[in-house]
Structure 1
Amino acid sequence: MISELIRDFVFEIAKKEIPEDVKEIAERQIENLKISAEAGKKSKVFRGIQEKIEKIGLSSPLKEILLYSSASTIYDWDDYLFAGHTGHSAVFTSLFLGENFKIEKEKILKAVILGNEIGGRFGIATLIGPLNGQMMTFLHGIISASIAEFLIGDIKNIPKKISFYVSNPHFLHFRGFMGGETKVFSVSLPTIQGIIASIFDFKENERAFEGFFKLFSYSKLDEEFLNRVFSPNFFLTRTIMIKELPGCAYVLPQLESAISLKEKITESFGKFDINCVQKVEVEYSIIPAILDSISSKFLDFSNHIPAQFSTYCTIALALSKDNFSYRSYEDIEDEKSKILQLTSKIQTKHNPKYTLEIIEKTLEHFPFLLLSKPKISGLLRALIYSEAKINILEALPVLPNIVKALIPTKNIKNNRDMKPPSDNFEFIFPAKVRIFYQGAVFEEERISHSFPAKSEKAKEIIKKKKSIVLKEN
């Protein structure tokens, strides 16, 4: 069944005229990821890597795909959509395969969009599972296998090529993701493997999809649910968000608030002295709370990766640095004493109302998620796998509302009252930060952490990022 759904979906996308707004979003995504990769290539991790790649005989286009898809991940200065960080593989697989095989620009742009749409849909199908966000690295092999076949093969074979990759997909564990700098492999290795899988041409492995979903999804993926997920009637590319600051999207509201409050304190007192910070209080949703619990296990200041997922560390780094930028993460070892001084003053609290807002917003735009079962037990399995320690008692006041939001009504179960999905979706991750400074209290609340790629603000951000990165050449 899944093969037919993918095949029909791909044919529909391939033959239809892509709306102009979707094309413009994809073009902005391409520009944004190029800048992210250029920033990443300045990292010490990438010193000399190009020469080593050439020495072992890896040639174009795999050489460029490997280098750029790795570099674009290092500072977490990327973009993302519902559901997944699809751009790293969708953009660089399309660009460098297209360039190598002299494919027209219009088809390359369509390949990027196709990669987003396929990757995002597999992301939705595996949204409740052992992995989430950037750790859903298997999406990149699915994306690259699809794009390779779309650009230089036969689109009717895309389900078959995906089945080759998902028969042996990547499963990234937390110790590989946050335990060192090996996060740089999280996109490039599955992307290269997906392209390699697309080269072969034996019979499709239908059983591979069954095994894949059994491993990566804690939901019941029945025919009705998958039909809605793989509908060609909405573009997940429209949900792409562009980050203004580097770091995990889930900690950016806290980071942005801290930077803004630091500026306000400086205006009020004429300067900002970290020794005068008495306390920092943070309220946020369950997702950054989980990330704080996970990242704290790996935050040893030997590298910056876990810091990008820690509310404590990003706030402390932002307050201790004069001008926070993507290069600030490189200074984490040198700033260790200041960071520890500040993190000891930071208190975080899960605000269940924020978690409820996220759930309600997501279900408002993608109500078919209610058809995915089980929900409560699946969420608990995902939480247990993460090894995060969350105080469930904090959620008791709004727990009935959360449960109610996750349980479909009888009419929805019978597929009446089920609204079609809306791709006019913007991620929200509400957070509130208070800084107690010399007896005064400064407070800021934010509901989002990035900007829709379709917005003028995103266009400004990309231009600003480009000037920052190029200035350092």
Structure 2
Amino acid sequence: MTVCEEMGAWAAGLRLGDVPERVRERARLQVASILAAGSAGQAAARPFARVAPDGPVGEVYAGAAASMAHDWDDYLYMGHTGHSAVWAARAFAGEDGERAAVAQIAGDEVGGRLGAALLLGPHNGQFWSSIHCAAGAVAAGVALGLDGPRLAHALAIALYQPPYGLWPGFMGPDSKLLTAAEPAGAGARAALLAADGVRGALDVVEDPRGLLAQLSFAPRPALLGALGQVWLTDTLAFKPHPGCAYLQAAVEAALTAGAAADEVEAVDVEAGWLTVEMERLGLRGGWTPVGVGFSVARSVAVALVAGRLTHAELDPDWLRAHRSEVEALAARVSVRHDWELTLRTVRGAADAGASLRDVPLRAWPRVARRARESGMAPGGLDLRSLARRPG
């Protein structure tokens, strides 16, 4: 069987009773999280709602744009699948709550696996837009009651033309809201097409010229398996504040410090490499909702000035009105790399069972070369400081 056939057969046969209760609870929390994010982002996403088509596909499109607006979303291993899985399941299942739950979980499981398989590639994290094609197709297809073969074709149709987002459109402007909206809508349409008998290329994922070959530097097909055995929905995490996951701890620390903004002389943030790299990449975002949401310095400054960090403080009018004050404070926030925190991240991932052992050694030079060619060369890590660490 092809990947699409295996995933389609599994999703079509999934029943709520097959899902452990702890996974169902995470899924219920995901619904609450995405609906809250969609409500918070409704005003920012109003232009996208106006051009959304009528019917369930438009529901998915408008909902995904709204929940993406402030990065106040959930995420699992590996991907921000709620933008597609939740909206597609709700749009197509109608009043059938049990079917909506199964559809959502199936979308999460397929979307997360696709993100893991594409980890070593030109996109990452919330920028994995192609996973929403898959999650949207599966969630909509299960909600529609498609059988395994038709679900397989829904996936194949959805992944035939995967999106390839470009960094300038993601980091800063309003176009970022399309990151999940367009592919989630395409996935939902693919399910409708499959329901009407349209067929896709069932080997579109693993073909030598297929999805894995084109959207990854080192394909990881092994990450697409274990459906029904490993529940990625069980790894769902939720953010207390809008913005990237990598800035949450710093914002929380600033808010619990008990200091007023005018009392702060300087803020020193020691962070792991992922946070430091986010800060570097987020510079181009400027004083926009996206630019704040991908910057520890800007988010900490906004939180200290406002005494909180919510979608209200990411409103462009609020940012304009408080620009001089928050900009001056952000300039006094320094973000420095701490090797111990980076190594704790690596150890934590390893302890949880994450590994890159499936990537052969001969593939790593190609991964490095293609990353450089794609402009993804990471910021410098001081390996000498690692060598000087005690122990």
Q: Which runs of 4+ in 1 moved over 6 A?
A: none
- What are the superposed Cα offsets for residues 84-136 of structure 1, whole Å, 9 maximum, x if unpaired? 0001110110001111xx5x221111111101111111111111211111100
Give the number of aligned pairs: 377
Query: Structure 1 residue 390 and structure 2 residue 379: aligned?
Result: yes
Q: Is the 8 A contact 1:5 1:230 kept in 2?
A: no
Distance in 2 (alpha carbons) for counterparts of 1:7 and 1:72: 27
What is the rounded CA distance, in whole Å, between the counterparts of 1:399 and 1:82 in structure 2?
31
AA matched with 1:233: Q
Cα pair 1:165 1:197 within 8 Å, conserved: yes
Tell me how far 1:8 sits from its aligned partner: 5.0
* RMSD across aligned positions (CA): 2.6
Aligned CA distance change for structure 1 residues 292 and 388 (closer, same or farther; 3 Å): farther
Letter of the structure 1 residue corresponding to residue 379 of structure 2: I
Question: Counterparts of 1:173-212 in structure 2 under 5 Å?
Answer: 173-198=166-191, 199-200=193-194, 201-209=197-205, 210=207, 211-212=210-211
- In structure 2, what residue type is equivalent to 1:355? T
CA distance change for structure 1 residues 308 and 292 in 2, over 3 Å: closer, same or farther? Answer: same
Structure ID, larger Rg: 1
Counterpart for residue 267 of structure 2? 280
Counterpart-to-counterpart distance in 1, 2:131 and 2:376: 23
Offset, 1:347: 1.8
Map residues 236-247 of structure 1 onto 2, 5 A cutoff. Answer: 236-247=232-243
Q: Give the equivalent residue in structure 1 for 2:128.
A: 136
> Which SS does the other structure have where 2:321 is aligned?
coil
User: By how many angstroms is 1:328 displaced?
Assistant: 0.7
- 1:418-444 per-residue CA deviation (whole Å, 9 max, x = no partner) reads xxxxxxxxxxxxxxxxxxxxxxxxxxx
Structure 1: runs of 5+ lacking an equivalent: 266-271, 402-473
Structure 1 residues 273 and 29, CA gap change in structure 2 (3 angstroms): closer
Picking from 306, 313, 336, the partner of 1:328 is 313
For normalisation by structure 1, the TM-score amounts to 0.73
Residue 255 of structure 2 is aligned to residue 259 of structure 1: yes
Task: Tell me if the contact between 2:5 and 2:202 (Cα under 8 Å) persists in the aligned partners.
Answer: no
Equivalence map 1:23-422=2 (5 Å): 23-41=24-42, 43=43, 45-47=44-46, 50=49, 52-53=50-51, 58-99=53-94, 104-152=96-144, 153-198=146-191, 199-200=193-194, 201-209=197-205, 210=207, 211-221=210-220, 225-226=222-223, 229-261=225-257, 263=258, 265=259, 272-274=260-262, 276-299=263-286, 301=287, 303-330=288-315, 331-367=318-354, 369-373=356-360, 377=365, 378=367, 381-382=370-371, 385=374, 387=376, 390-392=379-381, 394-398=382-386
1:329 Cα deviation after fit: 1.2
Supply the distance in 2 between the matched residues of 1:359 and 1:172 (Cα, whole angstroms): 28
| Aligned-partner SS, 2:245 | coil
Which consecutive unaligned segments of at least 5 residues does structure 2 have? none
Paired with 2:377 and 2:247, the residues of 1 have a C-alpha distance of: 16
Q: 1:179: how far off?
A: 3.2
Change (3 A) 1:66 1:249: same
Whichever residue aligns with residue 275 of structure 2, its letter is P
| 1:269 equivalent in structure 2 | none
Q: Which amino acid aligns with 2:306?
A: K
Q: Distance in 2 between matches of 1:383 and 1:46?
A: 34
What TM-score results when the alignment is normalised by the length of structure 2? 0.88
User: Distance between the aligned counterparts of 2:307 and 2:229, measured in 1?
Assistant: 47
Provide, for residues 247-273 of structure 1, a one-character-per-residue CA deviation record: whole Å limited to 9, x for no partner. Answer: 111111111111122x1x3xxxxxx24
